[in-house]
Amino acid sequence: MTDELEVGFIGLGVMGGPQSANLITKSGRTVRVLDLDVEAVERAVQLGARRADSVAELAASCDVIFLSLPSGAHVERVVRQDGGILERGREGTVVVDLSTSPATLAGELAPDLAERGLDFIDAPVSRTREAAIAGTLSITAGGPVTSFRRVEPLLRCMASDIMHCGGHGAGALVKLANNLVVFETVVAISEALALIRRSGLAEVAVAFEALAQGSAGSFALEHHGRDALLPDEHEEGRFSAAYMLKDVGYSLDLADRLGLDLPSAKVAYELLERTIDAGAANRYHTAVSHVIDPALGEWERDA
């Protein structure tokens, strides 16, 4: 990368905000930012970013463009819309999708971008918002190795663990698999705690520590279990039930294309639908515990 390289970042939300902040403060590059949230943009500008007024403006001026958006549909829109990256991006630009998108999306966008001389890398992030703030995310990347190596120093401003997993879509696929494992583990922990709680045979806190020191110990138990399920705290502004539903849905869509039946994933999807129907769409996805154990109480309906 040259010293004159300019970086764009579209999407300054729950994860994109802190990711862009680390990029702005650590990369030593000019970073142009774009988001519908004026306050989020202003926070980035205060850190040293430059404000872009449109996708077209950002795409025409940047050598690397990061996307951190709510869904694959948003990513495709930013790329393909009139005045979007496909139309306005300059030759040699690398587009990096940090979002959790369908595993098939990269393979659909990359050829069209390549015709215009642009490269595409799918590089979704894992771990929590706290990890995004600390710059200790995990990233699984897919796409050409040469393009990946070009943007890897920038990714390291945001993540402590980065793995190139293969060609276009490989990074997205591994991220979807990760979220499937995480949520199905959250369901299992919720069921275990409900069983312990209802039986009255052991104190929940004591039983939890026994689980943590046994073979049930895991990242999900320590973070989702200890931080949310054990204290029954499922605040908004974290990885919501609605977003997890989207991701599990992407996995089920891919499984259907491949002729696979994923019975546990189907149950997980149904539980998320029930969680959302119960009024917890915007709450941390660990709120599924209230569906599993109704004795925990009902939610006030999300506005």
- Burial class from Cβ neighbours inside 10 Å (0-12, 13-18, 19+) for residue 91 reads exposed
Q: Which two tokens stand for residue 203?
A: 């104190």
Q: Which residues contact 123 (CB under 8 A, 6 or more apart)?
A: 96, 97, 98, 139, 140, 141, 142, 151, 155, 171
Backbone angles phi, psi at 62, to 5 degrees: -115, 145
Residue 246 annotated in active site: no
Exposure string for 156-173, b = 16+ CB within 10 A, e = fewer: bbbbeebebbeebbbbbb
Torsion angle of the four alpha carbons 12, 17, 19, 22, in this order, in degrees rounded to the nearest 10 = 120
β-pair type (50-51, 137-142)? unpaired
Q: Which two tokens stand for residue 180?
A: 């499937």
β-pair type (94-97, 50-51)? unpaired
**What DSSP state is assigned to residue 287?**
G
Q: Which residues are catalytic?
A: 175
